[in-house]
Each structure stands twice: as structure tokens, then as C-alpha cells.
Amino acid sequence: MKKIQISIFSFLFYSLFMSNIWAECDTKIFVNKAKAALSKNITAIESYHLNGRDGAKKVFKYSLIMSKNTIYTVALTSAKGLIYSLQDSRGKELVSNFKNGNYSQTAEYRAAATGTYSLVFTFDGKGGYCAGAALGMRR
């Protein structure tokens, strides 16, 4: 009887406490997949670890300088529900990975002018809150 009680206790402990470990967000895995999704002629220049903490944080905004006539590619990996937007210095959306209800894994943009741009990643609540992204460039 004691063995059964120990077995039941062990099972309950494992089920309740160890399941939280699996639920944690490991953005490194997603970032590595995003870097691998960039084609071979694209140089990865930045990575983004996006941990939405189970919905507590839904928007991530990063500023960067882009050079005129350089092509930039953003590759995303996540569960469904991550929207990427590139905005100019006035907040105008230039490109997005979300079109007509569909999510794309990559989005590309040729900078029309050298200047400050913003990358905005938004979890829309239709998937998980853990993701990674990689920014690459080619001339």
C-alpha cells in the first residue's frame, strides 16, 4: 500500500510541477529556426527573443537604422498569431507578414531611404506567446 501511495504522490508531483517547466518560453529555439529560415544570400544582423509571458506582454517594438537600397528580410518562427510590421519614422506601415487573414513566415523590404525604422511584433492572441525572429540584409 505504501508503494502505491508513493507512486501516486510521485505522479501528482510530476504532473503538477514539472508541466510548468514545459510551458516556459524558450525563445532561443525560435530564434535559431528564424535564422535558419533566412536564405543563404542574406546576412543575419539581429535576432529578437519574443517572450509574451502568456499574454502579459503582447507588443514588442524595436528601432533600427536602415540604409537606402538595402534589402531587409525578417523571418519569424512561432505558433500562429504573431504579426510583424515595419514602420517608417512617422509610424506608417511599410510591410507586414499578415495579409488577408494569412500569416507569412518572412517579409522583405527594400529601404527607400536611409533612416530610422521600427520593427513591431504583436501577438494577436490566436496562438502562443513565445516566438523568435531574425533580421537579415543583402545589398
Q: What is the pLDDT of residue 75?
A: 95
Query: Tell me: the pLDDT tens digits for 5-21?
Result: 555 555 544 444 433 44
Rounded mean pLDDT, 65-78: 95
Give me the domains of the chain, ranges plus CATH numbers.
Answer: 24-138 (2.60.120.380)
Write the DSSP assignment of 34-79 as a string of letters: HHHHS-TTSEEEEEEEEE-GGGT--EEEEEEEE-TT-EEEEEEEES
CA distance 6 to 2: 6
Query: Tell me: the pLDDT tens digits for 34-61?
Result: 999 998 899 999 999 999 999 999 999 9
More confident site: 3 or 70: 70
| pTM over the 0.75 mark | yes
